[in-house]
Structure 1
Amino acid sequence: MKDETYATKKWVVPYKNIVAMYDGEGYVDIVEQTNCFGGACWARYHYERTSPLIVSVRNVGNTMRYLTRVGKEELNLTPSIAAAGIEAVEVGDDTISITYAGLGGGGVGATISRALAEDVIDYDHSEIGGSRSSKGTIVLPKRKRVLIGVDDTDTKEEGATWSLIHNIASDLNGKNAYYISHALVQLYPVPFKTQNCVSTVVEFACLDESKLMRDFEALLRKYTLSEETGMVALTKFDAEALREYGKLVKSKQISKETAEKAAVNAEADILMNGRGIIGALASLPYFANPMDSVIL
């Protein structure tokens, strides 16, 4: 008799984690953290070609991020060129359900591999393997994006904002708030900079944003080395309202009063109101874009 447990282990590569964030208006950001980057790249190629629900896909670190519309679209699966995809994205009161479909090995990857990911709370799938097609639905908690920007935590003698913020975010990573991206944001080198004039933005997929912000602020106040630390938070799906402000802070020195007005206009929360809010706020539109954020 075949050892099914052994067979499953040998033929399935589980995703480490999958989180889904809803914008409240019909779009979902699905962030898949992979244990096999080659498999994730294969999926991206086929999903983009196959799935009408997908608006865009991009790779950030070891994650693939699928921005999708909410809805259902039957897929025209074709071996080798369009072998798998996302068929449905459905949003409930507290959950988001995603249905994947695929042929052959693509069916295995599109079902069981994702069903074993960390944030999955329920799943269902058809028979998988061989040349047959298969489908699988995973159910995830409905999460909200939370962006936290920080600047001015160090001195000329010690400290580095980007590393402190990464370590705080890592400490808070968990079921309530998954830490999913980090970016260093190069700013205009003002006279009062400590060294390189860089702020930091971190992104979380969150259930209780109030708890995350309280916990983050408490740790930042405990470990910062500066009296001018700035910490801001944004609980919106994107930070486009701050795009021009971010470009401005990359191009010249501005006042703290200008930053405070921009925060009000963007509905961002100022949690630590030192001079660092200028750079902290400017970091927000560069979340999950670490290759471009480092460019002055």
Structure 2
Amino acid sequence: MRLSDPYTIPYKGIYAVADAKNELVEIMEHSSCYGGSAWALYHYSKSPLVIKSRSVGDMMRYLVRTGNSDLQLQSSVAAAGIESVIVSNKEIEITYSGLGGGGVGATTCRAYANGVLRCRISESGGGKRASGTIVVPRRERVLIGIDNTDSKEVGATWTLAHNIAAAVDSLEHRYISHTLVQLFPVPDKTQNCVATVLEFACIEGAKKGLLEGIKEGLMEYSVSGETGMVALSDFDAASLMEYSRLCRSRMITKELTLKTAKENGVKICIGGKGIIGALAALPWFSRNNESVTL
């Protein structure tokens, strides 16, 4: 056996989306070793800048305030953390610190991740305190709701949505999450009445190509004449939750959907009746355990 680097496990990718004012950032770390990332999630959650943290499959997600903090690291109790998050121009600079093995995670494991533009790292491992700074592109979140691509004879919206998303995935528009959203079982449903929301993290200028690619895939492979596709570029979709709850509790009209989409800056990409459920799916992105129940 020969290991090229026995003490480094690079993350598969690290991506960061910022809000419009650059006051909030969500850092998304695609893990190569869930055990190590779960340890980091526990310790990083105690960092002063971290508002909320969670794991979605093998993706560790940290909602943070931008700025600097004074990390008071303590072995075994608070052994690693996020020290600073700075947004400037089209980039986001993130500094991590950690003790011992936590320092290895803060430096080499993150510095060599896909999506990192450049880095500065200190020596790590053993009993040292180590720090690492990575620079990643500033990204915006793009949410795409899809519904009604199948028929009573063939297809399933959630599988088609995922396969198209995986096909268009690139470093410019990274495919982050796929979420099934249970809707009110209307009489003309295919079977289970479930919509899908896709989440992407896009660098500036990548949104147009992303939407064109997904629309092209749906137009080619959908077997329904009522396919709906909608898109929203925003840090979250909280303003659509009231509409979504209505759609998940009773039948609503397409007219209400069109009005709500216009009021909330949502783009109608494919305008079949499926836009009703597609719009309702948006605020549930990455909330997979909650979205599958009414």
TM-score (norm 2): 0.97
Secondary structure class of the residue paired with 1:158:
coil
In the alignment, what sits opposite 2:139? 143
Matches within 5 A, 1:11-90: 11-25=7-21, 26-49=23-46, 51-90=47-86
- Report the number of matched residues: 290
Of residues 74, 90, 105 in structure 2, which corresponds to 1:109?
105
Cα distance change on mapping 1:158 and 1:136 into 2, 3 Å: same
Identity over aligned residues, as a percent? Answer: 51
What residue in structure 2 maps to residue 173 of structure 1?
169
CA distance in 1, matches of 2:17, 2:168: 18
Question: 3-state SS of the aligned residue for 1:140?
Answer: strand
SS at match of 1:68: strand
- Tell me what 1:163 maps to: 159
- 3-state SS in 1 of match to 2:51: strand
Query: After the TM superposition, which residues 85-104 of structure 1 pair with which residues of structure 2 at under 5 Å, given as runs?
Result: 85-104=81-100
Structure 1-normalised TM-score?
0.96
Deviation string 1:100-121 (CA, Å, 9 cap, x unpaired) is 0011111001111001110001
Name which of 186, 189, 206 aligns with 2:185.
Answer: 189
Change (3 A) 1:8 1:100: farther
5+ residue gaps in structure 2? none
* Equivalent in the alignment of 2:212: 214
Where do 1:1-16 residues align within 5 Å? Answer: 9-16=5-12
Q: Alignment partner of 1:222: what SS?
A: helix
In the TM superposition, residue 24 of structure 1 has moved relative to its aligned partner by 2.1
Q: For residues 70 and 53 of structure 1, what CA distance do their matches in structure 2 show?
A: 7
Give the superposition deviation at 1:7. 7.0
Q: Distance in 1 between matches of 2:29 and 2:4?
A: 21
Q: Distance in 2 between matches of 1:12 and 1:175?
A: 23
Equivalent position to 1:248, from 246, 249, 273: 246
In structure 2, what is the Cα distance between the partners aligned to 1:271 and 1:31?
27
RMSD: 1.0
Equivalent position SS for 1:108: helix
Asked if residue 121 in structure 1 is aligned to residue 117 in structure 2, the reply is yes
Q: What are the Cα deviations for residues 207-260 of structure 1, in whole angstroms up to 9, with x where unaligned?
A: 211111111111111111111000000001100010011111010000000111
Q: Which runs of 4+ in 1 moved over 3 A?
A: none
